Chains A and B, each alone.
Chain A
Amino acid sequence: MAKTTGSTKGQAKQRRVSAAQPSADSDDELLRDTLARELIGVCMATLRTYGLDNDRLAKLAVGAATGNSGQIRSATEVLAEAQRLADTTNKWVEDPAYRDVTGRPAVLSVRDGEGCSFATLAREFFPERAVADVVTLGCKANVLERVGPDKVALLNSTVLFIGNSLPILAYSIRTVRRFLCTAEFNRRVNSAVPEGWPDRTSFVDVSEDDFREFIRVFRPQISGLIEMSNRWLFQRSRLSRNRLKKKKVAGIQVFVFRE
């Protein structure tokens, strides 16, 4: 089994020097250009699967290179609705007022009434939308299901973009951007383990059957880890002593891959 981390002490130091000094070793520059071309190639190959041809990609690449593409947040805008849905389910899962007697997220009424309802949640996170629209959106994203004529149950606490390409592309961009942020941070730290942000990978060649089994075994483990992380961050962000502090989005992301 191979296990890797995102940075090593020697490489981090060497690359920082080469970035600061244009007269760095030409072999390094050649390797850097090759890797940069590979990164662009990987992105372009993926974008082709979304229907973009080479000409279009070349034009977009030129536009991105001349503009300040690092600051563009189109992906965030595409995901805004999904994010608000995630915030809705987060409150439903984490706020004790929205749990039933068994300790799990309660079945909620979509109508206004006494106590906590889905209508209250929908108005908090989707103030401009009708509650019925939010229910439809939640059902489409596989987050909730209808129970009888006027109630809903939480189905999954994860927003899934099944069969919808553009949100998945936006989600991929956000993932890549976040990963590159971590890599950027880690390449600038000198001591790999205590100061770098955790970035671990495990991979090995397996058959299709073993891969399916791998997913079955690790799906609950990954969900549990994400749930723990989410709960920790959610509770910490609500502490009164942290309310006025400047905050930035932080978290972990886990995914299974197969090349």
Chain B
Amino acid sequence: MGEGAGKAVLARAAMAAVEPLVELFLELGVTSPEAESLLRSVFVHKAREWLAKPSTAEDSPSDVRVSLVTGVHRNFVRSILAEPPRIAAARAQKGHRASRLLEAWHSDPKYLDSSGKPRDLSEREQEPSFQSLASTYLPAAAPSMVLEELRRAGLVQMLSEHRVRVRNRTFRMHGVNASNISELGNRARELLETLTHNLRQPEARLFCEAMPSIEVDVARVPFVRDLIARRAGNFLAAMEQELAVEASGSRRRKSGERVRVGLTTIETER
């Protein structure tokens, strides 16, 4: 068997191991360039470890040696080894390609109702439809594939009569993943920080109020959730606008110490 044929056999064998990983990457929203960048980074780090093993008799292999083994240019080897394995910043997707479509669904007047909120759209039957939205803002992709991708990510809700409702303005994979776990941690930390601040400094309380909870028929829960989402969404948007004025004034003043101020609203159900 020649060297080329041997590599082909190896590649086929490696596929079996890599395929589940690719599936996981797809679920997590990691793109192919991002995965390739991550693989290259891991490859370089692993090569250095491998070369440093006692059997190879190299204490600390040089960048040139790692470059020779991995096929990665020595300049890249140096920068890759300077930090833990990760996706290179240049390869990390700045935003999912569907983000453009989601943004348009929330801002193009053609796809808004009279209150300025995104309309439910028919998949393709009448205008304005999801098909026209996708064709306009993601012309390179088939609308049906874009819809499937958004549905899988939990960003759209499929309704009866082949109608589609958008659920988020930004692309974010739903479910238990690293980004969402990090978000969960941040939210919990913010809440606990506010509560402990108020315990320790009652004279300088941060706003933390709740309305008395109410009991509703379980059948009414979807309506109540939708109502809370719309009212709280409007409230947060209004606060963001008002605070943006304060933030731009503060930027001009450029005084010394600065504080990050935020506002979070949460719905509770028991």
Q: Name A residues whose Cβ lies closer than 8 Å to a Cβ of B.
A: 96, 99-104, 107, 142, 145-148, 151, 153, 155-158, 160, 216-217, 219-221, 223-224, 227-228
Q: Which of B113, B220, B238 contacts A221 (CB 8 A)?
A: B238
For B120, what are the chain A residues with a Cβ–Cβ distance below 8 Å?
104, 153
The 8 closest A-B CB pairs, nearest first, are A223-B115, A103-B223, A103-B222, A219-B116, A156-B114, A103-B226, A224-B234, A220-B116
Q: Could you tell me if B226 and A104 are in contact, using CB atoms closer than 8 angstroms? A: yes
Q: Could you tell me if A216 and B116 are in contact, using CB atoms closer than 8 angstroms? A: yes
Complex Cα distance, B117 from A135, in Å, reads 23
Of the listed residues A156, A224, A228, the one surrounded by the most CB atoms of chain B closer than 10 A to its CB is A224
Q: Could you tell me if B220 and A147 are in contact, using CB atoms closer than 8 angstroms? A: no
For B15, what are the chain A residues with a Cβ–Cβ distance below 8 Å?
none
> Can you name 25 A-B residue pairings with CB atoms under 8 Å?
A96-B219, A96-B220, A96-B223, A99-B223, A100-B159, A102-B157, A103-B220, A103-B223, A103-B224, A103-B225, A104-B120, A107-B160, A145-B126, A147-B122, A147-B125, A153-B163, A158-B115, A217-B238, A220-B116, A220-B117, A221-B237, A223-B114, A223-B115, A224-B115, A228-B231
For A151, what are the chain B residues with a Cβ–Cβ distance below 8 Å?
161
Q: Could you tell me if B161 and A102 are in contact, using CB atoms closer than 8 angstroms? A: no
Tally A-B pairs: CB < 8 A: 75
Q: Could you tell me if A217 and B241 are in contact, using CB atoms closer than 8 angstroms? A: yes
For B231, what are the chain A residues with a Cβ–Cβ distance below 8 Å?
224, 228
**0 or 1 for each of B206-243: is its CB under 8 Å from A? (1 = yes):** 00000000000001111111110011001001100100
For A157, what are the chain B residues with a Cβ–Cβ distance below 8 Å?
114
Q: Could you tell me if A148 and B125 are in contact, using CB atoms closer than 8 angstroms? A: yes
Does residue B165 face the partner (Cβ distance < 8 Å to A)?
A: yes
Does residue B40 face the partner (Cβ distance < 8 Å to A)?
A: no
For A158, what are the chain B residues with a Cβ–Cβ distance below 8 Å?
114-115
Complex Cα distance, B230 from A102, in Å, reads 13
For B237, what are the chain A residues with a Cβ–Cβ distance below 8 Å?
217, 220-221
Does residue B119 face the partner (Cβ distance < 8 Å to A)?
A: yes
Q: Could you tell me if A107 and B115 are in contact, using CB atoms closer than 8 angstroms? A: no
Supply 7 further A-B pairs (C-beta < 8 A) apart from A142-B114, A216-B116, A219-B116. Answer: A96-B223, A107-B159, A107-B160, A107-B161, A153-B161, A220-B115, A223-B117
For B223, what are the chain A residues with a Cβ–Cβ distance below 8 Å?
96, 99, 103-104
Q: Could you tell me if B227 and A103 are in contact, using CB atoms closer than 8 angstroms? A: yes
For B234, what are the chain A residues with a Cβ–Cβ distance below 8 Å?
220-221, 224
Complex Cα distance, B126 from A148, in Å, reads 9
For B220, what are the chain A residues with a Cβ–Cβ distance below 8 Å?
96, 103
For B126, what are the chain A residues with a Cβ–Cβ distance below 8 Å?
145-147
Which residue on B lies nearest to A224, using beta carbons? Answer: B234
Kindly provide the distance from the CB of A217 to the nearest chain B CB, expressed in whole angstroms: 6
Kindly provide the distance from the CB of B156 to the nearest chain A CB, expressed in whole angstroms: 12
Kindly provide the distance from the CB of B242 to the nearest chain A CB, expressed in whole angstroms: 10
Which residue on B lies nearest to A220, using beta carbons? Answer: B116
Q: Could you tell me if B113 and A100 are in contact, using CB atoms closer than 8 angstroms? A: no
Complex Cα distance, B220 from A216, in Å, reads 31
Complex Cα distance, B227 from A93, in Å, reads 12
Kindly provide the distance from the CB of A6 to the nearest chain B CB, expressed in whole angstroms: 24
Q: Could you tell me if A155 and B113 are in contact, using CB atoms closer than 8 angstroms? A: yes
Q: Could you tell me if A156 and B113 are in contact, using CB atoms closer than 8 angstroms? A: yes
Which B residues, 150 to 177, have Cβ-Cβ distances below 8 Å to chain A?
A: 157, 159-161, 163, 165
For A100, what are the chain B residues with a Cβ–Cβ distance below 8 Å?
159-160
**0 or 1 for each of B92-136: is its CB under 8 Å from A? (1 = yes):** 000000000000000000000111110110100110000000000
For A227, what are the chain B residues with a Cβ–Cβ distance below 8 Å?
115
Kindly provide the distance from the CB of B168 to the nearest chain A CB, expressed in whole angstroms: 15
Which residue on A lies nearest to B227, using beta carbons? Answer: A103
Kindly provide the distance from the CB of A206 to the nearest chain B CB, expressed in whole angstroms: 14
For B222, what are the chain A residues with a Cβ–Cβ distance below 8 Å?
99, 101-103
Q: Could you tell me if B165 and A102 are in contact, using CB atoms closer than 8 angstroms? A: yes
Q: Could you tell me if A219 and B115 are in contact, using CB atoms closer than 8 angstroms? A: yes
Q: Could you tell me if B230 and A224 are in contact, using CB atoms closer than 8 angstroms? A: yes
Complex Cα distance, B114 from A147, in Å, reads 19
Complex Cα distance, B165 from A228, in Å, reads 22
Q: Could you tell me if B160 and A223 are in contact, using CB atoms closer than 8 angstroms? A: no
Q: Which of B161, B219, B225 contacts A147 (CB 8 A)?
A: B161
For B160, what are the chain A residues with a Cβ–Cβ distance below 8 Å?
100, 107
Q: Could you tell me if A107 and B226 are in contact, using CB atoms closer than 8 angstroms? A: no
For A96, what are the chain B residues with a Cβ–Cβ distance below 8 Å?
219-220, 223
Q: Could you tell me if B161 and A160 are in contact, using CB atoms closer than 8 angstroms? A: no
Kindly provide the distance from the CB of A184 to the nearest chain B CB, expressed in whole angstroms: 31
For B227, what are the chain A residues with a Cβ–Cβ distance below 8 Å?
103
For B226, what are the chain A residues with a Cβ–Cβ distance below 8 Å?
102-104
